[in-house]
Amino acid sequence: MRKGIERKMGDIVIRGRGVISGKAEGPALVFKTSVQGNCAFDLETGEIIQKGHPLEGQNIANTIIILEGGRGSAGWSCRLHSTVVSGVGPKAMIFPKLDSRTAAASVVAGVPVVTDLDQNPFQVIETGDWLKVDGDAGVIEVNKVPK
Amino acid sequence: MQMTVEELRILEGKEGSLKKRALELIVAYAEALGALRLCKISKAHLYAGAHQYLRIRALEGLDPDQIISKMHFCSDERMILNDVACFAQTDAGPMDPDQWSKLGFSFNEATFNDLFLCRYLHAGIHLIGTCAPYLTGFIPLMGEHYVSTESHAVTLMNSIWGACANADGIEIAFCSAFCGFTPYWGNHVPEQRKATHLIQIDWTPSSIHDWDALGYAIGRKAPAFCTPLLTGNFPKVDINRLRACFAAMAASSGVEMCHILGHTPEALTREMATGNNKVESDVISEKEISEVFDLLGCRGGEVCFVSLGCPHFSIEQIKEVSQSLSGRKIHPRVEFQVWTAAAIKSISDRCGYTDEIEKAGGNLVCGSCPLLTGKFPDDGQYGLLFDSAKQANYVRSKVRGKVHYGTARECVEAAVSGVFNPGS
């Protein structure tokens, strides 16, 4: 299997390292700016409440989130964890590279996670694209949604 | 990953199910990071108590042991906390465990929190309850490996003492405390502590508040995976200024280590801080500082809530507040709080500072902060005022009222007059 972007019938495949196993699919939610570890999400609904964030008012529930890294507060993992326990967390997570906050969140959230990607996901994936994430193989299939 | 005989023995369950589960999660975390081995920690500072993230509907009906098992150790099996593996103390909690009624907590809420605190105490964790653990003797030395759940404390203790920790998160810190290990990765590894960005500060910070605003401005500029090296003219730098700076920086960024040329021990020279690696450069001038004040609210207005003490105030900061309140009264509409650690409050009680603040109508409260209590008046009509960019940054996402950001002196004046008047 060759590395890099593979175009098959309109799909794009990104390869990386599977961190947390499992498979999930859902709509992409692309965080061009990361979120802070406190007061970022409503823990009961999954709504993004961080004031002034470009995605304020949107919801992480049942999406596949793409984030560069954590910021603001060492409570990053525990609050994401609470959204998962509340049933309003993401179905999978994609990080170009892991830092301490996002690695901790990956382990405790337990949803499929892929990192160390061979392509920049912020150039390939747009919010609303339909993604299939394989946390065992480390593969992300991107199905572009017609605009 | 390379494992020692001691670690393998724990993973086999020979030292109990709690330690086994804690180490399993640490190994998973290490593998996620790509760490090649673990290292032993000597100290842990832990976000303990019935915090808001544990009081969600999905956990209602579970007892504290079940909640701790599920949310600290990701286990549906009931884990009983015992024998913490290193020196450990509590971080700030969800309330002042003694003065909870003054903050508006019910007896049942306070009792529920106490049930958690009893579990930690039983396991050997000291109930110190502060976000500023270094104020009460938690001082890891150069090269010492520790964990802390308070992001600014990690940046401070890494940067000014050369101690070693990452801002891992609450669950991972608990797991490290109970198994005794953390991944040898990131700030635990000398080569990974070098500066990645050179930030020239073209502005001279003087007061604690200047440093607070500067920290927030640096954080806004810092990209992911950034370890800054600050250069500039820092004539009055001291620990109260740096802890304000790092608290604000940790709120607006993911920075866990910040070198300051000529001031921090791993940055005596530029070459020492960068390891001669190529670094990116950036500049912060008065413009970026002004943006912080504009963003966090500096235009003034009527207030109903004023809070000082993020990070928890030191004794000299409490003394200044008590002196500026001497013989004065807090405005009847305003709730005025000053936050510190219980040990510092004991000293304040003895020195008469607490009495002075209480006579004016304010409260010296311990072990938490408005962000963690979530208890503040918010009718949308009157504003909330903080001396800390960290509090202003987070609380503004939770309230209808306007959030303001002023100096400690401006906060005291606003508490007395009921109006925040910048420059007062």
What pLDDT is stored for residue A72 in this prediction?
Answer: 81
What pLDDT is stored for residue A5 in this prediction?
Answer: 52
> Which amino acids of A are annotated catalytic?
73
Shortest CB distance from B254 goes to which of A40, A44, A101? A101
Residue % of chain B over a pLDDT of 90: 97
The predicted complex's ipTM stands at 0.94
* Contact between A72 and B52 using a beta-carbon 8 Å cutoff: no
Residues 6 or more apart whose CB falls under 8 angstroms from that of B208 comprise B240, B241, B244, B317, B408
Q: Select the more confidently predicted residue: A36 or A73.
A: A36
pTM (2 d.p.): 0.96
What pLDDT is stored for residue A9 in this prediction?
Answer: 46
Name the β-bridge partners of A23: A134
Q: Per-residue pLDDT averaged across B80-107, rounded?
A: 97
For domain A12-143, the CATH superfamily is Phosphohistidine domain (3.50.30.10)
Q: Per-residue pLDDT averaged across B317-331, rounded?
A: 98
Q: How do the domains of chain A map onto residue ranges?
A: 12-143
Q: Per-residue pLDDT averaged across B205-233, rounded?
A: 97
Alpha-carbon distance A59 to nearest alpha carbon in chain B (angstroms):
15
Shortest CB distance from B32 goes to which of A72, A76, A103? A103
The counts of H helices and E strands in chain B are: 16, 15
Helices B170-179 and A100-109, interaxial angle, to 10°?
80
B347-401: pLDDT as tens digits = 999 999 999 999 999 999 999 999 999 999 998 999 999 999 999 999 999 999 9
- Residue B73 scores a pLDDT above 90: yes
Q: Per-residue pLDDT averaged across B233-253, rounded?
A: 96
- Residue A147 scores a pLDDT above 80: no
* Contact between A101 and B169 using a beta-carbon 8 Å cutoff: yes
Shortest CB distance from B53 goes to which of A71, A74, A79? A79
What pLDDT is stored for residue B137 in this prediction?
Answer: 92
* Contact between B393 and A36 using a beta-carbon 8 Å cutoff: yes
- Residue A1 scores a pLDDT above 50: no
Distance CA B62, CA B81 (A): 16
- 10 Å CB burial of residue A116 (0-12, 13-18, 19+) is middle
Alpha-carbon distance B403 to nearest alpha carbon in chain A (angstroms):
11
What pLDDT is stored for residue A8 in this prediction?
Answer: 55
What CATH architecture does domain B297-420 belong to?
2-Layer Sandwich (3.30)
B118-159: pLDDT as tens digits = 999 999 999 999 999 999 999 999 999 999 999 999 999 999
Residue in B closest to A53 by C-alpha: B397
For chain A, the average pLDDT equals 92
Q: How do the domains of chain B map onto residue ranges?
A: 5-189, 194-293, 297-420
Radius of gyration of chain B (CA): 22
Structure token digits, residue B137:
């003797």
What pLDDT is stored for residue A2 in this prediction?
Answer: 46
Alpha-carbon distance B172 to nearest alpha carbon in chain A (angstroms):
7
B15-52: pLDDT as tens digits = 999 999 999 999 999 999 999 999 999 999 999 999 99
Residue contacts between A and B (CB atoms, under 8 Å): 145
Overall CATH class of domain B5-189: alpha beta
Q: Residues B308, B408: contact at Cβ < 8 Å?
A: yes
For chain B, the average pLDDT equals 97
